[in-house]
Amino acid sequence: MCGIVAATARREVSAILLEGLRRLEYRGYDSAGLALIDSDHNLLLHKRQGKVAELEQAQAMDPKYGCVGIAHTRWATHGAPSAANAHPHISGERVAVVHNGIIENNEALRAELQAAGYEFLSGTDTEVIVHLLHQQLQSSQSLLQAMQTVVERLEGAYALAAIDVAHPDEVIATREGSPLVIGVGIGENFLASDALALRQVTDRFIYLEEGDLVRMTASSLQIYDANGNRIERTISQLAAHEEATGLGDYEHYMLKEIYEQPRALAATVPATGAHDIADEAFGTGAAAVFDRVQAVQIVACGTSFHAGMVARYWLEELAGIPCAVEVASEFRYRKRVQHPGTLLVTVSQSGETADTLAALRNATEAEFISSLVISNVDHSSLVRESDLVFLTRAGAEIGVASTKAFTTQLVAFLMLTLVLGRRRNLSPEAASAMVSALHKLPDYVEQTLKLDPLIKDMASAFILRHHALFLGRGIQYPIALEGALKLKEISYIHAEAYPAGELKHGPLALVDADMPVVAVAPGDELMEKLKSNIEEVRSRGAELYVFADENAGFLDDPRVHVLRMPHCPELLKPIVYTVALQLLAYHVAVQKGTDVDKPRNLAKSVTVE
């Protein structure tokens, strides 16, 4: 989604702003822009539809320089992708604003400002903010005070940064519902919607809280909380290895991230105890909470939701705990009834997904005994607002298609199953077997990665297809869903997943020679049933791609292509099979020539509803 970068320094900052935008490209966007205040206190602007590279080209052709500036990548919500709708928006040739989020009362504000004589040049909700700020500056003592008054009129979610030629040394910023982080430099300060954008200039960050308002110059920082009180926020120092984001020798981030899984999975299992997992892996106070848990409610979106669906099988079968799973956008708006003693578990790679965050925020103490988040991003909003936290150690995930975040989420859920299960019917021997399986997981994933050339060959059969059907049974059904999601989001092939037993209840009507069918068939107790479903498909003339255990006894024939997967413990199969499906989607997308890491219309972090 949209990205913000801002800087105040004693040096020229246009290159820093552009590099920051480039680092935010992975979030998804359709236009970009920057505004600078030059040494003569003029407001200079570049805006382009399309990629940051086009903005860089505009800057190369017509350089604009300044020591204070704001920049933005926009993912269209209100108003089509265009240069006119790109941020920054300006008012009165003096104020410029960049904005992430949505201003819900923008229509009323627009009408009021138009009546006051303001002319609107864009179709965005953001433009009301810059005109309000300009209007307020006529009577305010300072840019800070003007912004303070403006935000009182805004309804919705926002992260904002503004500059004004009459206050040429400062950047003013505020957040409510969208993340914002200050990068603390020496004799210079920066601001961004993601620390990743500023790793080139600093390793010291202040993560702003909801309602914070900031005045930032090259040499000073003033932060005010939601009540207008001046406060100090803690500076966090990132270690040198954190957030390393280069592509290395890989062609795409997605491939790099698929291949990083053995390391990410190993890092996510705490080193402590060869036979057990400590409750404290989920935060201090976790043991007391876990003692009271009688049911689990999981809430998430997209791939993280699929992780929750897999977890339901583990929590109910192995830990004997009732578990419900729901997509956050539905959960948040529904009247709900919870079991007594329910633990709310949110799952989010980014920790900033708007619906998941809203679900956490509207969950009440009467419904849940506590909240736990499984996230990949420390300091994210979900992490800061949850009672208990499990941080997956996947490292920065740049590709829009989630890969290593998903498999590490599954590891987190296996550990949650273990700590809750040993309070119920999970024997110490079974718990110890789970831990030892977890320690072997990176090896099985390595073995699966070695199948990459075979999967690449298989992928070529999909590139001229418009549809694909994924089948799985039991715990592999959510894995089939995840395989279909990966394929559709990066290759734009319409892919659907069904529990194999549902075939005859409708989807079989779609099956013919043009519909490739992918079956996730690890060889568990549902194998024989799945084999009959596969026959049903084969007899309708479809080409079948079966991902099966090497010992499952599947035979190739001209229309049945079997990928023999390494034999591994049942428990690990959802994770191991996912890796093969990720590779399938990746190779189909590469062979189709799509933008694998930044698929059209999608954003990495969905911070608006």
Site for ligand AGP contains 584 (CB under 6 A): no
Instruction: Give catalytic status of residue 568 as yes or no.
Output: no
Residues 46 and 33: their CA atoms lie apart, in Å, by 5
Among 402, 407, 491, 533, binds ligand AGP (CB under 6 A): 402
The Cα 230–Cα 214 span in angstroms is 10
The H or E element that residue 531 is part of is: helix 527-538
Torsions phi, psi for 445 (to 5 deg): -70, -40
Give the nearer residue to ligand AGP in terms of CB position, either 85 or 348. 348
Span 332-351, contacts to ligand AGP by CB under 6 A: 348-350
Q: Choosing from 2, 67, 301, 323, which is the catalytic residue?
A: 2
Closest listed residue to residue 211, CA positions, set 180, 171, 182: 180
Other beta carbons less than 10 A from residue 504's beta carbon: 11
Cβ 180 to ligand AGP, closest distance in Å?
Answer: 17
Spatial separation of the C-alpha atoms in residues 579 and 342, rounded to whole Å: 32
Query: Which are the contacts of 170, defined by CB distance < 8 A and separation ≥ 6?
Result: 8, 68, 143, 144, 163, 164, 215, 216, 217
Which of 189/381 has CB closer to ligand AGP? 381
Give min distance, CB of 342 to ligand AGP, in A.
21
Determine if 489 is a binding residue for ligand AGP (CB under 6 A).
Answer: yes
Helix, strand, coil shares of the chain, percent, nearest 5, are 40, 25, 40
Considering the candidates 256, 404, 486, 604, report the single residue annotated as catalytic: 604
Which residue has its beta carbon closest to ligand AGP?
302
Known active-site residue 2: yes
Please identify which residue in 265, 301, 455, 560 interacts with ligand AGP, judged by CB under 6 A. Answer: 301
Examine residue 310 and tell whether it contacts ligand AGP (CB under 6 A). no
Intra-chain end-to-end CA distance of the chain, in Å = 11
CB of 309 to ligand AGP, least distance (A): 13
Nearer to ligand AGP, 438 or 603 (CB): 603
Q: How far apart are CA 609 and CA 605, in angstroms?
A: 11
Say how far apart CA 242 and CA 363 lie, in whole Å: 32
Helix (H) or strand (E) holding 520: strand 517-521
Under DSSP, is residue 98 helix (H, G, I), strand (E, B) or coil? Answer: strand
Closest by Cα among 258, 253, 214, 250 to 233: 214
Which SS3 state, helix, strand or coil, does residue 375 take? strand
Residue 408 near ligand AGP by CB under 6 A: no
- Give me the phi and psi of 499, to 5 degrees please: -65, 130
Smallest separation, CB 512 to ligand AGP (Å)? 29
How many Å apart are CA 173 and CA 249, to the nearest integer? 38
Query: Cα torsion at 205, 1, 397, 208 (round to 10°)?
Result: 20
Selected from 91, 122, 189, 353, the binder of ligand AGP by CB under 6 A is 353
> At closest approach, how far in Å is the CB of 140 from ligand AGP?
38
CA distances from 349 to 73, 247, 402, 577 (A): 21, 20, 8, 20
Contact status: 400 vs ligand AGP (CB under 6 A):
yes
Q: Which stretch binds ligand AGP (CB under 6 A): 31-39, 64-72, 387-395, 397-405?
A: 397-405
356 touches ligand AGP by CB under 6 A: yes
Is the CA virtual torsion 384, 390, 394, 395 positive or negative? positive
The C-alpha atoms of residue 432 and residue 440 are separated, in whole angstroms, by 13
Nearer to ligand AGP, 350 or 448 (CB): 350
Nearer to ligand AGP, 307 or 542 (CB): 307
Least CB distance to ligand AGP at residue 420 (A): 22
Distance between CA atoms of 588 and 444, rounded to whole angstroms?
23
If binding is defined by CB under 6 A, does position 391 make contact with ligand AGP? no
> Does residue 170 sit in helix, strand or coil?
strand
Pick the closer one to ligand AGP by CB: 303 or 417: 303
Q: Does 606 bind ligand AGP (CB under 6 A)?
A: yes
* Closest distance of CB 375 from ligand AGP, Å: 8
Looking at the Cβ atoms of 212 and 489, the one nearer to ligand AGP is 489
Using the contact rule CB under 6 A, the part of the chain among 117-125, 249-257, 302-310, 358-366 near ligand AGP is 302-310
23 contacts 200 by C-beta, under 8 angstroms: yes
CB of 75 to ligand AGP, least distance (A): 13
Considering only the stretches 93-101, 206-214, 295-303, 426-434, report the one whose residues sit in contact with ligand AGP under the rule CB under 6 A: 295-303
Q: Which is nearer to ligand AGP, 106 or 375 (CB)?
A: 375
Confirm or reject binding of residue 268 to ligand AGP (CB under 6 A): no
Report residue 177 as tokens: 């519902």
CB nearer ligand AGP, residue 106 or residue 353: 353
DSSP β-ladder status, 156-164 and 167-176: antiparallel
- Determine how many CB atoms are found less than 10 A away from the CB of residue 181: 23
Q: Which one of residues 302, 472, 507, 522 is an interface residue with ligand AGP (CB under 6 A)?
A: 302
DSSP label of 557: B
> Closest approach of Cβ 353 to ligand AGP, in Å?
3
- Per CB under 6 A, 394 contacts ligand AGP: no
Enter the tokens of residue 130. 């810059």
Task: With H, G, I as helix, E, B as strand and everything else as coil, classify residue 102.
Answer: strand
Q: Which is nearer to ligand AGP, 344 or 401 (CB)?
A: 401
- Is 401 near ligand AGP (CB under 6 A)? yes
Judged by CB under 6 A, how many residues of this single chain contact ligand AGP?
Answer: 16
491 near 485, Cβ under 8 Å?
Answer: no
Complex with ligand AGP: residue 349 or 448, whichever CB lies closer:
349
The rounded distance, in Å, linking the Cα atoms of 553 and 386 is 47
Binding site for ligand AGP (CB under 6 A): 301-304, 348-350, 353, 356, 400-402, 489, 602, 605-606
Residues with catalytic roles: 2, 604
